[in-house]
Structure formats: structure tokens, C-alpha cells
Chains A and B, each alone.
Chain A
Amino acid sequence: MTVQQEIGRPRRRKEDARLLTGRTQWTDNLSRPGMLHVMFLRSPMAHARIARVDVSGARDLPGVVAAFSGQDFAAEQGSLPCAWPVSEDVVIPDHPPMAVSEVRYVGEAVACVIATDRYRAADALEAIDVEYEQLPAVLDMNEALAEGSPKVHEAGNKAFSVKINSGDIEAAFRDAPVVIDRTYRQQRLIPSAMEPRAVLADTDGEAFTLWSSTQIPHVLRVMLAVVTGIPEHRLRVIAPDVGGGFGSKLQVTAEEVLCLLLARRLGRPVKWTESRSEGNLTVHHGRDQIQHIRLAADADGRIRGLRVGLLADMGAYLMLVTPGIPLLGASMFNAIYKMDAYEFGCTGVFTTKMPTDAYRGAGRPEATFGIERVMDELAAELKMDPVDVRRRNWIKHDEFPYTTISGLTYDSGNYEAATEKALALFGYDKLRAEQADRRDRGDPVQLGLGVSTYTEMCGLAPSRMLGESNYGAGGWEHGSVRMLPTGKVEVITGTSPHGQGHVTSWSQIAADALGVPFEDVTVLHGDTAIAHKGMDTYGSRSLVVGGVAVLKACDKVKEKARKLAAHVLECSPDDLEFAAGAFKVRGTDQQKTVQELAYAAFTAHDLPEGVEARLDSDATFDPENYSFPHGTHLCAVEVDTETGMVKIRSYVAVDDVGKVVNPLIVEGQVHGGIAQGIAQALFEEAVYDAEGNLLTTTMADYLMPSAADLPTFDLDRTESPATSNPLGAKGVGEAGTIASTPAVVNAIVDALRPHGIHDVEMPCTPERVWRALRERAQEERAQEGVRQ
């Protein structure tokens, strides 16, 4: 029998049929007998003392079962957790799920209504009376840190500070022939998963079940137990179908805590579903940093040293991993480049805005943007080609494994190969020629080419390393494999997918490892009563940690099967060879398939000494190191210098994500990632006004790209297998987002450089581009005037 290798095969997804026919289980689809609906009244002010909340008007309305203020829950609601106290000096303010005495951002919950349906609940919210005493909003990070600034929290506006030093930075900058000094802004983003968050909590009086559109059912369960005091063993968390996350559902939210507490208090199931405008206010935001970057280099373009100073906007509170996000970028600013010295400093700042936290890439897109923009500035300064500047500095293929200046060891990679492939696919030289021609002709539509050669730190796992950075949990992952009596296979994973296709990829891994048909495998996940151990899905860790755990569990099953086969076939285990799903006695045609052995292990009529009934096994995997996918992204833009309009003409990405399990899924992840990174470069920004009101509360105001706004992306791959895990995989979920933002902005700046422009702030909207051009032209005219 020839068995087709599953790993590497572009399998269509097992997940699709249900999703395509509407047989879905989004949390908002679920219902329980007697279920009530919760709605929250949210603060209209960025900063205020709550003088009085009167919910009595709401309580009297038809269909209303109860209404509560934060005060009503003050004693039992606990504080939302922060699991990443990054430094000794970190300040973690109390964070009640419903505000008790003070609100610190627009959208913070102050009261709630529980009614028989959502229309009634919405009506009742209007009958709640709140008296606020307004306090000054604190919106700008620099102003927040200034002497005498109004305070967001009693302890002040500084959340923490961190400094990292490696090499002799003073020496690197002393007499450096070239110093590039730039400040970049990472605008605040709203992650905008298509499924709004939803929570359903139920109890039978003893035990609790919580369904949530979460990425992290396992972490959530632990945290909810700690916050609410509900014993962990009486709390089951289920993430049913989850409609995207991108980090925004890697959170322990006020609504999850409160739904659980309301179910306990009322003894009835309660559900909350957010509206989009509620979500834009209260789903944690992403990015929001000011980066001050200085790079010292030799005259030939070799980097000597890099200094990074970050201000990171925490918003009003520290949520689950808020302070850790900028630090995830700390060891990535040096990227793929060799240098003598590196200095990183970061100050976390409290402001009266929605807290920030993980958003696709989390810290690494910010870092990659900073360094890749500055590399282009270095190239411009030295009149070098941006690709050549990178070539001069990057770690060469034969230098891996390589320990970087920031102390990470990159296991494998080949930047040369990926870049060459990308340049060829892009038609780099031809495009450069066209660019020169357009410049010569003074074409109002200029062509710009942008490159970004990135690496990222994937597979958030090594528990030891997470511990060293003060993170409050480990990063191992769990896998479990059960051979059923009929020979079918159930795989259980501790990862919790929300669009990544784990069911399909994990089936491929198990099918290959056990030699069983792909169709015979099913994958269970996302329910703490079934997938009883796990650390969930974020940071491109699922395959490289969780997938490997499944592989290890399969190996254990096989070892058990081998003992059983030897017993049944009356030979020594060493005489057996495993191929195509069967143990075969070497040199004979006697064999037993794993699926047959599963039946024998089920009947247990005749088991060898020491072999237990049922063919199954558990495994955890905790890698020694992160993994480091890399790649080269190239973007060509046409910039209309008369209107400021930017059009992406072509986009090429060559990514190296190590060994690929399912090329179809990898490609899809890269596509989506690129789109999200382009969105940061061109379209999206969460905007607050001077009073701290969010102006981008709807999808009409917050500009997410549609199909009409994006081109088709041309993709290719190179493959340098990871050495830090037996699958050789590196992770892919965030690569596209990390690489694309600087590629696009580099392209825009490249188009505008002859106009004297060396930066455009993100998002590079037509208005911003047009303003940059106009301001530059005015400056030039003014200079002319001075000269005359």
C-alpha cells in the first residue's frame, strides 16, 4: 500500500463545510433555557469621579430582571489581571470590571442591566442615572509624563521603565561617520476581528460553564477562578467557533468576569454580545508607541550601534499582557542585522484611553517597522540601494546558528535566498528603471519601491525564557491522541484555533505519524472539559509548540502499539518495522495495523505485561528556543503627487517559515497578514479627540480595507527548517503583518524622496501624503525667498 505523505500537502480544510453552510456555533448563536441578556452602561467621559449611580429607574421597566452598578459588585468583582509585571518598578493599578468610584476611559462599564431580551435591556440602559464629576483627560504620552500633569492613577502616569544594554554603545556612536536619528509613531489600532465578542455564562448552582469568543479558554479559566473565587475545578470554559482574534481575544475581560458573577448572583444563564461600536471602544487596542531610533554606521553602511527609546501607551490600565507587548519587540529591533552595540529603553505610560495589549505580531511589527524604516534612511543617506544596505549587514547563511546582540540565538535562516527569489519575482531592476524614467519625466504619478527584510520571534513558548522575562505563566503545549476501538483517531489539542485551520493541519500531522488516513482523524479543542490542558493560541505558537505536542503524543501511541504488536505477533519489539500504519515482522508478511491494534487494546483480552487497556497517550512540548521565520517583502506603489493618492501596484512576499505542513493554510495566513499590515500603513487608526472621545467607533469611521482597496499578492517560499522542534516548522500567523507595514511605507517614502520627503506618518492617507508634499513645497519656496 502506498500512503501519501500528508505533511506538505495542500489539504482543503475539514473546518470549511460547517462554516460555509451556516452550521456554526458562534457564542452569540448559543442559547440556554431561561437565558437573560446583559447590557452595560458605559462611561461617556474619559476621566471622571462617579458621584452617584441610580439604577432604580431601569429595574422597574418591563422585561428587566435586575440592574446593578459597579458599587453593587465592589466587594466581589475582583480586579482584572495583569500577568506580565515586566520590571521591578511596574505599577499595576486596581482594575475593577465595573468602575466603582472613578472612570478612566470612554467606554468603561459603570452599570449593567439584565433583561429578557436585548431590545428591553437596551431600553433600560437609558433609565440609569449617573452623576459624574469630570476630571482632566490625559491623552498625550509626553504630556502625561511631564511634571504637574493630571494623574490617571494615584501613583502617577509612569507604568514602568526598562533598560537593556549590550555592547559598548557609547563607543559605537563616538565619531560614527553616519548617525541616523528618527522618531516614528506607531498609531493606535483597533484589531477588529469580524466576530464581535460574546459571553454566555451558566450555572447549576454548584458548577459554572462559560462560553466565550476567546482565544485562550485555558488561561481564561485559571484567571477567572483567581479573579472571581469560583473554584477552578467547578469552572468549565468553552471557546466554540471563534470568528477571528488577532490578539484581541487574548484577554481576560470585564464582561467575562461580570457575566460569571451575574450568573452566580441570579442563578440564571446570562449572555452578553457586544455591538461593533461598543467593541471599538472596549476591545483592547494595539500598537501606540512613539519610537526614537538612532543608528550609527560606518561610511560603507556597516551598522555600529542602535539606540532605541520607546514610549508605549498602556491606556488606562494594565490588562493581561499589556506591559509585555513593547518588550516583545525589545530583542527584535536589531532584526537580522549584526552590530557592535545595542541599547533599548522603554517607558510605559498611563493615559485615559482604552488599554492596549496584544495585536497581531504584538511588539514585533512595531520593532520591525522602526528598524526597516531606519535602514532605508541609512541607504538614502549613503546613496546606496536599500537592498544593498541590508545585504551588507545581515547575518549570512553560513553563520547560523547566530546569537544576536540582544541575546537571542537564531537557529536557521537564509536571507540571501529569500531576497534573491523575491527580487526576481518582483522584477526589481525593471521597476527601478521605470522609477528613474518617471522621475526624469516629472510624471505626477511617481513610482516607489519598498523592501522589508524581517525576522520574527515565533512560537511563544520556552517556559524557561518566559520565566526569565517575568511572564506569569509557561509556554508549553499539550497534545493527546486517542485511538478509538474502531481504529479512528481523536486528537486533542491545547491550542484554541479561531480561523487557523488546526483541525486540518493537526489531522495531517497525526495521519502521517500514525500512518492512518487523514479522514480517520478528528481534532477536539477549545473546551477545558475535553482539552483539559493547554496554553492556547497566540504568538504563532500553535503549530510549532502545539503541533509538536501532537506529534510527540503520536510517537508515544506508536511505542505502546509496538509492544502490543510484538505480543500479538509473538516476536520481539525490535523485530518490528513500522511503515504505512502497520508493524511488520521484518522479512515476513506478518503485520498488524495500528488500527487493528487499537481494537485489541480496547478488548484488552490479551494484553502484554505492563500495557494498559486502550491505545492512547498524552504529551506536552516545551521547546528550548523560539523559532525565527524570516522573509523579504517588496512593495511597489504609485503615488499621485497631485492628490496624495497611494495605489499599491504590486506586492511580492517570499517567506521562510521552515517546514510547511499545509501550504494552502500557510498561504492564506500570509495573505491575511499582509492585508492587515497594509491596513496599518495606509488606512487604519483609532482616533481620540481632545476630550478623550473615540472618534472611530464604527466601521464607517475606522477604515478597514475591502477587496477593492487591496491588490493580489504574489507569494513564494524558501525553506530553512527550524532546528528547535522536530517538525522543523517556524510559525506563520504574524509574518505578513510584521513585514508588510514597513515595506509599504518604505515604498511611499521612496516615491517621494526626490520631493525632499523622508517620512510620512501612518496611516499614509491621501491627505497626509498631500500635506507632506505641500509643506515641503512651502518650505522650499520659503528657502528660495531667503536666498533671493
Chain B
Amino acid sequence: MPRITVTVDGIKYEEDVEPRLLLVHLLRERLGKTGTPVGCDTSNCGACTVMLDGKSVKSCSALAVQADGCDVVTIEGLGANGSMHPMQRAFHEEHALQCGYCTPGMVMAAIDLLRENPEPSEEAIREGLEGNLCRCTGYCNIVKAVRRGAQEMGRAVTTP
């Protein structure tokens, strides 16, 4: 069984894993990181999105062994010092979640979207979130939240 080293939300783990173990199951069932949920088995829904070395990936379609030597950030490790990330706050402010099942993945995808395009138009937001499905919100408030999150994050960057 391969042994991997992976850092998750700032903590380093060394784990023996079956080669077929999915990253999402490593996180959820071995490391107790249940903040990342599973919504499908075809990498269509995006609920399981986490950051792998700074880029969003669907953790249901990555193998645990692929995370060897990598840095993973889940929704549980996103905020700093007990406070929420600006994108999490924006989702709260804009009522961009209902049941909340899609939310961790949505927040992760939104942050990654802004990495590539810090000031996205509505259309760019909608296109950018295409791989993340939400059944509750109809996306209106998610789009607003991503916009607000972009503003807040921009501010965080520009203000010293």
C-alpha cells in the first residue's frame, strides 16, 4: 500500500492508502474532514471541490495518491484565525445558500474563479461556476455573492 504525505488545512499527515482510494474519501473518512461533501459519482456536481496546491479540484475525481506531497485546503481550513474568508461572508450576506450542501464546493470554485479573473462579469461568473450544481438557490444569489466576494477580496488585496 503506497504511503503518502499530504498537508490538509495546515496539518501534515502521513497515510498508507489503497491506490484506488479517492481523495474525498481520504479527507472525509480517514482524516475526519467532513466539511467536503459528495454529491455525485461522475464529477459533475462540484460539491466536493477543494484546493489542491492552490487550484480547485473535484476531490471525488482525484486519487489520494495524487495528492502525495501536496497542500490541500478544504472549506474547514479556508478562513483565518477563526474568522470566515470574505467569500464565505459574501455567501452569508447575499443569502447564497439554502440547504448548504453545494456550498463548500461553490465557495471553493468561486475563489478559484477570481484567481483567474478578479473582476468577473455576471456572465463570466455564471460560466465559471458551470461545474458546480445547486438545486436550491436558482443561482441568483450565488452570482451576487461571488460579485460581492470579488469586491471584498479586491479590497483586502489593495488596502495595506
User: Which A positions have Cβ atoms within 8 angstroms of B?
Assistant: 12-13, 15-24, 26, 28-29, 117-119, 192-196, 241-244, 246, 275-277, 498-501, 664-665, 667-669, 671-676, 698-700, 704, 706-708, 710, 712-713, 736
Contacts and interface: CB of A to CB of B under 8 A. Distances in A.
B98 A672 contact: yes
19 contacts: A16-B92, A20-B92, A20-B104, A29-B37, A119-B20, A241-B99, A241-B100, A243-B100, A244-B101, A276-B39, A276-B40, A277-B41, A668-B141, A675-B139, A704-B133, A706-B139, A707-B130, A707-B139, A710-B126
Contact of A21 (B88, B93, B132): B88
B3 interface: no
Interface string B66-101: 000000001110110000100010011101011111
B6 interface: no
A12 B95 contact: yes
B42 A698 contact: yes
A564 B84 CA distance: 44
Nearest to B45: A699
A727 to B, nearest CB: 21
A534 B124 CA distance: 45
A194 B134 CA distance: 7
Interface in B40-76: 40-42, 44-45, 47, 74-76
B28 to A, nearest CB: 7
Contact of B102 (A15, A194, A501): A194
Given A19-B97, A698-B41, A29 B92 contact: no
Given A26-B101, A194-B134, A196-B39, 7 more contacts: A19-B103, A22-B36, A193-B99, A194-B101, A196-B38, A499-B98, A707-B130
B138 A16 contact: no
B41 A668 contact: no
Contacts of B132: 706-707
B131 to A, nearest CB: 7
B140 A706 contact: no
Contacts of A19: 97, 99-100, 103
Contacts of A673: 138
Interface string B119-130: 000100111011
Given A20-B91, A244-B136, A712 B143 contact: yes
A240 B141 CA distance: 25
A702 to B, nearest CB: 9
A242 B99 contact: yes
A12 B102 contact: no
A463 B98 CA distance: 29
Size bracket of the B interface? 35 or more
A21 B44 contact: no
B14 interface: no
B129 A708 contact: yes
A417 B65 CA distance: 61
A713 B101 contact: no
Nearest to A280: B40
Given A29-B34, A194-B39, A499-B100, A707 B135 contact: no
Given A700-B44, A713-B140, A706 B98 contact: no
Q: List the 5 closest pairs (A to B, CB-CB), nearest first.
A: A22-B35, A19-B100, A499-B99, A243-B101, A675-B138
Contacts of A276: 39-42, 45
Contacts of B79: 21
Interface of B: 18, 20-21, 25, 28-29, 33-42, 44-45, 47, 74-76, 78-79, 84, 88, 91-93, 95, 97-104, 107, 122, 125-127, 129-143
A501 B34 contact: no
Nearest to A698: B42
A20 B140 contact: no
A29 B100 CA distance: 14
B29 to A, nearest CB: 8
Contacts of B25: 118
B98 A195 contact: no
B42 A20 contact: no
Contacts of A700: 42, 44
A270 to B, nearest CB: 16
A22 B141 CA distance: 20
Nearest to A677: B138
B32 to A, nearest CB: 9
A241 B97 CA distance: 14
Main secondary structure of the interface of B (DSSP, over half): loop
Contacts, number: 182
A707 B125 contact: yes
A12 B93 contact: yes
Contact of A243 (B99, B125, B142, B143): B99
Contacts of B135: 192-194, 244, 246, 672, 676, 704
Question: Which among B33, B45, B84, B101 has the greatest number of chain A C-beta atoms within 10 A?
Answer: B101
A28 B93 CA distance: 28
B129 A706 contact: yes
Contacts of B137: 668, 671-672, 675
B46 to A, nearest CB: 9
Contacts of B101: 26, 193-195, 243-244
Contacts of B20: 119
Given A194-B45, A699-B133, A700-B44, A20 B88 contact: yes
Contacts of A193: 99, 101, 135
B45 A21 contact: no
Given A704-B133, A706-B130, A26 B142 contact: no
Contact of B40 (A117, A119, A665, A698): A698
Contacts of A18: 100
A16 B91 contact: yes
Contacts of B37: 24, 26, 28-29, 195, 243
A482 B14 CA distance: 48
Contacts of B47: 194
A708 B128 CA distance: 8
A125 to B, nearest CB: 15
A235 to B, nearest CB: 26
A17 B42 contact: no
Contacts of A13: 92, 95
A192 B99 CA distance: 13
A22 B85 CA distance: 13
Contacts of A195: 37, 39, 99, 101
A187 to B, nearest CB: 18
Contacts of A246: 135
Contacts of A675: 137-139
Nearest to A29: B34
Nearest to B42: A698
Question: Which among A21, A667, A668 has the greatest number of chain B C-beta atoms within 10 A?
Answer: A21
Contacts of A698: 40-42, 44
Contact of A707 (B36, B95, B129): B129
A704 B16 CA distance: 37
Contact of A706 (B29, B107, B133): B133
Contacts of A118: 25
A26 B29 CA distance: 13
Question: Which among B74, B102, B133 has the greatest number of chain A C-beta atoms within 10 A?
Answer: B133
B100 A667 contact: no
B130 to A, nearest CB: 5
A339 B127 CA distance: 47
Nearest to A19: B100
A700 B40 CA distance: 10
Question: Which among B28, B95, B122, B132 has the greatest number of chain A C-beta atoms within 10 A?
Answer: B95
Nearest to B137: A672
B133 A710 contact: no
B39 to A, nearest CB: 5
A29 to B, nearest CB: 4
Contacts of B95: 12-13, 664-665, 667-668
A463 to B, nearest CB: 29
A708 B130 contact: yes
A668 B42 CA distance: 28
Nearest to B100: A19
B35 A24 contact: yes
Nearest to A360: B135
